[in-house]
């Protein structure tokens, strides 16, 4: 997939599930559940023990059927390792320009974390494809995205933190190109109990919420 194809794929789906579990095995199973639920994108965070192995296994298993990302990428060296393991997009919790440059060098999608207007613009000017607004829920949720989109209508934003089944649609309506969902989709309790069917069902629910919000947006346009 080309960089623009990956970007439009993520935007079309409208959701990036964040897989943050306590083992590589549970991360792989969570991605499988997300896939079965109809979501064709997933981000495995570097906080998962054996995360790079998990990326490799998912890349081998799903090939071109899922767009695979690496999350909590703190530096360009980690980005490169994840790239070689099969990650096609990279998500960072904070703004580090050298990581953006690494992704650009290899024509990969980079979604750096930012919060303030200054950080958001700095990330975009440095070459971010999408800016992850984190932690969005702590600073006003959809209202904060709406406020940022005022001066920055041209900047693509994906909120993280505070995104759930109730708020996902609102985030899209105020201008987010997609949403990123962590423990509200892949939660520790379901994984501990081996209830991956719950994660699969939640994936379907998020897709339904996104479809509903987009249909309402088209009707209002």
Reported for 3-9, long-range contacts at CB under 8 A and 24+ positions apart, including other chains, are 3/107, 3/108, 3/109, 3/129, 6/67, 6/88, 6/89, 6/109, 7/109, 7/129, 7/130, 9/40, 9/41, 9/67
Length of the chain, in residues: 221
| Residues near 114 by beta carbon (within 8 Å), at least 6 away in sequence | 94, 95, 120, 122, 123, 131, 132, 133, 134
Eight-class DSSP state of 22: S
Q: Is 132 a residue of the active site?
A: yes
Task: Kindly write down the DSSP assignment for every residue of 136-189, as one continuous string.
Answer: GGGGTTHHHHHHHHTT-TTS-EEEBSS--TTTHHHHHHTT-S-EEESTTTS-HH
> Quick check: 22 and 189 in contact, CB under 8 A?
no
- What is the distance between the alpha carbons of residues 67 and 101, in angstroms, rounded to a whole number? 21
Dist. CA 114–CA 122, nearest whole Å? 9
The catalytic residue among 43, 56, 88, 156 is 43
Active-site entry in 132, 156, 170, 200: 132
- Catalytic (active site) residue 184: no
Active site residues: 43, 132
């Amino acid at each position: 997939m080309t960089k623009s194809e990956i970007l439009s794929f993520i935007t079309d789906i409208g959701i990036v599930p964040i897989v943050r579990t306590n083992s590589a095995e549970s991360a792989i199973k969570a991605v499988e559940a997300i896939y079965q639920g109809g979501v064709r994108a997933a981000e495995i965070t570097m906080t998962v023990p054996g995360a790079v192995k998990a990326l490799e296994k998912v890349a081998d298993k799903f090939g071109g059927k899922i767009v695979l990302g690496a999350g909590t990428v703190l530096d360009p060296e980690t980005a490169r390792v994840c790239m070689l393991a099969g990650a096609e997009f990279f998500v960072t919790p904070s703004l580090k320009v050298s990581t953006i440059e690494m992704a650009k060098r290899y024509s990969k999608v980079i979604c750096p974390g930012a919060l303030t207007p200054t950080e958001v613009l700095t990330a975009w000017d440095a070459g971010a494809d999408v800016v992850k607004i984190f932690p969005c829920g702590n600073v006003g949720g959809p209202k904060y995205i709406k406020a940022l989109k005022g001066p920055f209508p041209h900047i693509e934003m994906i909120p993280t933190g505070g995104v759930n089944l109730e708020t996902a649609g609102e985030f899209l309506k105020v201008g987010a190109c997609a949403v990123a969902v962590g423990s509200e989709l892949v939660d520790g309790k379901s994984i501990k109990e081996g209830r991956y069917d719950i994660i699969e069902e939640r994936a379907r629910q998020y897709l339904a919420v996104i479809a509903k919000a987009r249909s309402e947006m088209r009707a209002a346009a």
